[in-house]
Structure 1
Amino acid sequence: MTITQRKLNLNVGINTTGYLGHAWPYRTGTRHDINDPAYYRRLTELAHKGLFDAVFFSDHPALMTDPEGRPFHTIDPLILCTALAAQVPDIGFVATMSSTYNSPYNLARRTQSTDIVSGGRLIINIVSSFNPNVAANFGSEPLPQRHERYAKASEFLDVAKKLWASWDPAREGDVPEGRFWDATSAHTIDHDGTYFTVKGPLNVPVGPQGHPVIAQAGASEGGIDLAARHGEIIYCNILSRPAGRAFGEKVRDRARAFGRDPASIRIVPGLVAIVGETRAEALRKHELFSGAGSEDGLIARFIRENGIDPAGFDPDAILDAERFIPDPNRLLAVGMGLGLLDLLTHEKLTARQVVRRSEGHHRLVIGTPDEVADQIIDLWADGTVDGYTLQPPRAPDDIEEFVAKVVPILQDRGVYRTRYEESTIRERYGLPFPEGTTRPADRPALSRLA
């Protein structure tokens, strides 16, 4: 393989017991780990050992109370990331935050503060909340319609960007004797929009990377608009090369239409990796961790989840893509349902094949460490993706295995870093510095806690 300067970006999700809801009985640890800050520190240190770009915390501000399931979100991610940044150096942090149930000023203040404290290691994953149970935790008003949530999210980020740039001490002129500061280094934003009226300025100065890197997850039309306007790291479900290319072109074309440089966008979809000493072992682990128990169980789950009549269903017949178009008005995230549709639009596959291509709505790669590395490099090498957000079925076990067995192969092939070099996440992803603020070379140095 030709070694280039371009390197594979990898984040890793570390929510509670791991990504797959049925894999927890096979993990190392206890049920009490999910509320223990020391547990998340151990996972972050493990991710740091594997030289991941960032640890990723999804969030859902509502407790899932299904007695057959498990809580998937507990400690507030921004608070947890701030604490972890003080304990673990180098690695970045992705904190998921709702634009539907936050105020722009409060979010801008808290995230800019964390970015300064961490030395420029924060990514915020802005989501438009879609669960009525979340809405019920923030008042009596019903969940807004999808189009309204995305319109609000876009204005929310417009306001946050203005606030993040509203006080830049590096732009000070000569401070008159007897005065502590040049007050002209701050300015009001005087935003008066459809959803928000905010005066400003923010009482936290511009941070080491201008403002936190913005991640966005969503593949519906509203989600793509939001990604094209504001997203720098796009978290999505890409299951194949043709689907990935089509998605990337759509987002970048939309960005151009909004007057934005598409080179400032990185596609970093989710990835579920299951590693075995042999491919047969990895396939059995998939059946176990998925909760299906066997390949027939995987097919039965596919039939059930997609509302298919099992009578006469042939798992070896080519599937009709149109059968899997998600309802655009459904409450659940539309983008996740689009992954299967996109896969079947570009490839002729059977149910038996599909159940080995996706798990938890994300691309599934199965096999020996070498086979898993091959599959990871495959879509990265030609630029279909810029990297992945690894979603380990079990934590810590599958993170440990990936770090010990797959990372060295990626390094040997010259596609993955062998040490941390860049200090900020923005630099690590090769993203441009935000317009309207001074670059790091012109700013006073800031210390950080770790």
Structure 2
Amino acid sequence: MTQSIPDRRLHLNVGINTTGYLGNAWKYARLKPRDVTDIQHYLRLARLAHKGVFDAVFLSDMPLLRPDPASRPLHTFDPLILLTAIAASVPDIGLVATVSSTYNSPYNLARRAQTLDLISGGRLILNIVSNFVPEVAANFGNDPLPPRDVRYPRAEEFLEVAKKLWSSWDWDAEGEKPEGQFWDTNAVEPIAHDGEYFAVRGALNVPRSRQGHPVIAQAGGSDRGIDLAARHGEIIYCNILSRGAGQAFRQRVTERAIAAGRDPSEIRLTPGLVAIIGESREEALRKHELFSGAGSEDGLLVRFTREHGIDPHDFDPDAPLDVERFIPDPGRITAIGFTQGLVDLLTHERLTARQVVRRAEGNHRLILGTAEEIADQIIDLWADGTVDGYTYQPPRAPDDIEEFVDKVIPILQDRGVYPTAYDDRTVRERFGLPHPAARARPSMPAESLA
């Protein structure tokens, strides 16, 4: 495939949760079950990612354990603590921590996050999520999970408070200090926030970091989630399954960012991507069936009917799907974004179920084939600006990260779309994002000028 190469950088992050992204693929990976609670396992994954010059390692999170002996726990260690250990041992690479705005307080989260951003030299990205699983609420008290019209306004205010806190102590705002004075208290500006959900007074006891504050990522695909992303998101981890769907998604974000007074060119789309590499496309198809747990294409179709409440006895897998039947209820408490991805795909392409099951896996874009074919498909939606890059979710860890780094990354580098080494920049600078505006330096009192 001949592709024109634009004058901009392809961004790639990589997920490093436990055994990988696909729940059944652990059976075919080179690891032991207890590796998921061994720091050496995660250091190995981060070092593989560093070898591949990935922009960042990505940890999704949910504070919930669902015991299922047939599958693996996807989330174990607290992301901020785990990424702190990785930052101390693996240089350069960015660190994406998923954190809840529903079950955190702004001050504590702002303090922990700014600490990691400061000690890592400006490498932290915070993926702010509004919890959507009702069982999570039971781990934090007797109240049920708040509805979407509470969770998202709370997340909005949460970020407003965190940003105020992150700028409340700014070393660069210091003036001339009298002899014997450790610091200039003009560098500190306590906040006084009284809102619907939070009341916070005081300054953060961790100063601004090299990149100002952590980069803000957001993963919402619902209408409320897109609003939050448009107002605060700098990197959007979304669900884009096709060119048409991606362009429509970017247009929605752009319009809402402009309405919120933001420059949409300061937002990066890095949707999820599941890549399965084979020596041939046929081998990749068989690996998909194996790693997904379906066992065959028929198994994939059975899973599709079960997940979408379709009667398998009255179902033609080769008939075009009706998009209307997949539109999610906007009032439901659970996640909308993943289902919306399928709706967006079917809105822009007329597809059968047999085609759809090879286009998405784990609700993210699925690409299959040889290493060359995988590279072609990665470049495809990036080259015309539909996306700015991807968050690669390996079916198995470490196996598929290793294979991607050894086989796909060199092709992207040879084609001139991907770097061969890191430079000494913050993760914010690497993504071409602006530095958050610092507070205006206060005027020095007259007596200090004497």
Query: Which TM-score band (shorter chain)?
Result: over 0.9
Question: Residues 201-224 of structure 1, C-alpha deviation per residue, up to 9 Å, x if partnerless?
Answer: 111100010000000001101101
Correspondence for 1:411: 413
Of residues 308, 313, 316 in structure 2, which corresponds to 1:314? 316
Shift of 1:121: 0.5
Question: Residues 95-133 of structure 1, C-alpha deviation per residue, up to 9 Å, x if partnerless?
Answer: 010000101001111100000110000001000011222
Shift of 1:14: 0.6
Correspondence for 1:231: 233
For the residues of structure 2 that align with 1:109 and 1:169, how far apart are their CA atoms?
16
Correspondence for 1:384: 386
Correspondence for 1:446: none
2:297 matches 1:295: yes
Question: Residues 389-431 of structure 1, C-alpha deviation per residue, up to 9 Å, x if partnerless?
Answer: 0000000000000000000110111111111124210011000
For the residues of structure 1 that align with 2:24 and 2:31, how far apart are their CA atoms?
15
For the residues of structure 1 that align with 2:325 and 2:440, how far apart are their CA atoms?
51
Question: Residues 134-174 of structure 1, C-alpha deviation per residue, up to 9 Å, x if partnerless?
Answer: 11111111111111000000000000000000110111111
Deviates more, 1:376-385 or 1:294-303: 294-303
Correspondence for 1:424: 426
Q: 1:71 to 1:256 in 2, by over 3 A?
A: same
The aligned amino acid for 1:396 is: P
For the residues of structure 1 that align with 2:149 and 2:215, how far apart are their CA atoms?
24
2:161 matches 1:159: yes
For the residues of structure 2 that align with 1:18 and 1:331, how far apart are their CA atoms?
27
The aligned amino acid for 2:122 is: G
Give the secondary-structure state (helix, strand or coil) at the position aligned to 2:107. Answer: helix
Correspondence for 2:243: 241
Shift of 1:328: 2.0
Correspondence for 2:446: none
Correspondence for 2:253: 251
Give the secondary-structure state (helix, strand or coil) at the position aligned to 2:62. Answer: coil
Of residues 132, 135, 141 in structure 2, which corresponds to 1:133? 135
Give the secondary-structure state (helix, strand or coil) at the position aligned to 1:214. Answer: strand
Correspondence for 2:329: 327
Correspondence for 1:443: none
Q: 1:337 to 1:284 in 2, by over 3 A?
A: same
For the residues of structure 2 that align with 1:118 and 1:437, how far apart are their CA atoms?
23
For the residues of structure 2 that align with 1:123 and 1:211, how far apart are their CA atoms?
9
Shift of 1:4: 4.4
The aligned amino acid for 1:85 is: A
Correspondence for 2:202: 200
Correspondence for 2:36: 34
The aligned amino acid for 1:241 is: R
For the residues of structure 2 that align with 1:151 and 1:258, how far apart are their CA atoms?
15
Of residues 145, 148, 151 in structure 1, which corresponds to 2:150? 148
For the residues of structure 2 that align with 1:164 and 1:313, how far apart are their CA atoms?
54
Question: Residues 275-323 of structure 1, C-alpha deviation per residue, up to 9 Å, x if partnerless?
Answer: 0000000000000001111111111111111111112311111101111
For the residues of structure 2 that align with 1:22 and 1:332, how far apart are their CA atoms?
23
2:67 matches 1:65: yes
Q: Is the 8 A contact 1:173 1:182 kept in 2?
A: yes
Q: Is the 8 A contact 1:126 1:216 kept in 2?
A: yes
Give the secondary-structure state (helix, strand or coil) at the position aligned to 2:150. Answer: helix
Deviates more, 1:224-233 or 1:419-428: 419-428
For the residues of structure 2 that align with 1:23 and 1:161, how far apart are their CA atoms?
39
The aligned amino acid for 1:93 is: L
Correspondence for 2:444: none
Count of residue pairs the alignment pairs up = 439
Q: Give the gaps of 5 or more residues in structure 1.
A: 440-450
Correspondence for 2:47: 45
Shift of 1:188: 1.3
Shift of 1:256: 0.5
Q: Give the gaps of 5 or more residues in structure 2.
A: 442-450
| 1:178-193 paired onto structure 2 within 5 Å | 178-193=180-195
Q: Is the 8 A contact 1:119 1:208 kept in 2?
A: yes
The aligned amino acid for 2:413 is: Q
Shift of 1:66: 2.6
The aligned amino acid for 1:426 is: R
For the residues of structure 2 that align with 1:193 and 1:252, how far apart are their CA atoms?
28
Correspondence for 2:271: 269
Deviates more, 1:61-70 or 1:178-187: 61-70
Give the secondary-structure state (helix, strand or coil) at the position aligned to 2:13. Answer: strand
Correspondence for 2:177: 175
Shift of 1:437: 4.8
Correspondence for 1:448: none
Give the secondary-structure state (helix, strand or coil) at the position aligned to 2:191. Answer: coil
Give the secondary-structure state (helix, strand or coil) at the position aligned to 1:366. Answer: strand
Question: Residues 8-63 of structure 1, C-alpha deviation per residue, up to 9 Å, x if partnerless?
Answer: 10000010010000111000010011000110000000000000000000000111
Give the secondary-structure state (helix, strand or coil) at the position aligned to 1:10. Answer: strand
For the residues of structure 2 that align with 1:23 and 1:275, how far apart are their CA atoms?
14
Q: Is the 8 A contact 1:422 1:428 kept in 2?
A: no
Q: Is the 8 A contact 1:64 1:70 kept in 2?
A: no
Correspondence for 1:352: 354
Q: Is the 8 A contact 2:26 2:72 kept in 1?
A: no
Give the secondary-structure state (helix, strand or coil) at the position aligned to 1:94. Answer: strand
Shift of 1:178: 2.2
Of residues 390, 399, 402 in structure 1, which corresponds to 2:401? 399
For the residues of structure 1 that align with 2:11 and 2:159, how far apart are their CA atoms?
25
The aligned amino acid for 1:398 is: D
For the residues of structure 1 that align with 2:365 and 2:4, how far apart are their CA atoms?
25
Structure 2 length normalisation: TM-score?
A: 0.96
Correspondence for 1:115: 117
For the residues of structure 1 that align with 2:327 and 2:352, how far apart are their CA atoms?
16
Q: Percent identity?
A: 69
Shift of 1:252: 1.2
